[in-house]
Amino acid sequence: MNAIISATALAGELQGPRPPVLLDVRWQLGGPDRRPAYLAGHLPGAVYVDLDRELAGGPGEGGRHPLPGVEAFGAAMRAAGVDAGRPVVTYDGGQGWAAARAWWLLRWAGHPEVRVLDGGLAAWDGPLETGEVTPEPGDFIPDPGQLELLDADGAAALAASGVLLDARAAERYRGDVEPIDPVGGHIPGALSAPTTENTGEDGRLLPAAELAGRFAALGANPGKKVGVYCGSGVSGAHEVLALAVAGVDAALYVGSWSDWSADPARPVATGPQPG
């Protein structure tokens, strides 16, 4: 199944016999709670999902956005109306990172039909509704491990033997600036591949062929061992989504740089080269 869906196709499916569950995952790093924005207007029937509370564990060991507890995640998804046998579409305000985190987690936890609304809320030109949505509880039971997951050791090994992509901004990769984590730079051997370069000005992903060409130039081809990390496993999930659209399977280092850089014993490379 394709990992993304257009607004036009989604509008058609919502009128069909098997409409998808809609999850509104608007989120901003360090920003205000986005629930008020959701209440002011969201796709009809969409349920708000809080990334920090429901799509991640508490910050600390494992990074800023470690995996949530499996039971807690399953309960949150059931409360949002997620069924094992009904498709799910996630969306956010348009950047796509938070929606991709929800997509990745549900796929990792075994849901077979999850897509991201390409371009997010900004791409939707249909009606909106206001207020809270309380769906009928779903029946989804997580079966984790359906997508490959990396830890720090796995990321280091992949940087040495395969392709490890750093989805953060290039200046953070180089170590020129580091606004969040203890130290700037990147995992030695990782390649700079900012996730922002996977989208056009409208926030939609580039066509699959363009994405495939971009990743091929980095050595990330179908059948190759590929991994992705970012700051805390959010924008990296969007890069995994883009790779999926390009036909490349990739593992995600959920702890990412926030986990790697928390241990001063781990090596750090700086500058534009993998090091």
Could you give the residue numbers annotated as active site? 230
Residue 150, burial from CB neighbour count under 10 angstroms (0-12, 13-18, 19+):
buried
Q: How far apart are CA 229 and CA 158, in angstroms?
A: 11
DSSP string over the chain: --SEE-HHHHHHHHTSSSPPEEEE----TT---SHHHHHH-BSTT-EE--HHHHSS--SBTTBSSPPPPHHHHHHHHHHTT--TTS-EEEE-SSS-HHHHHHHHHHHHTT-S-EEEETTGGGG--S--B-S---PPP--------SS-EE-HHHHHHHHHHSEEEE-S-HHHHHTS--SSSSS-SB-TT-EE--GGGGB-TTSPBPPHHHHHHHHHHTT--TTS-EEEE-SSSSHHHHHHHHHHHTT---EEESSHHHHHTT-TTS--B-SSS--
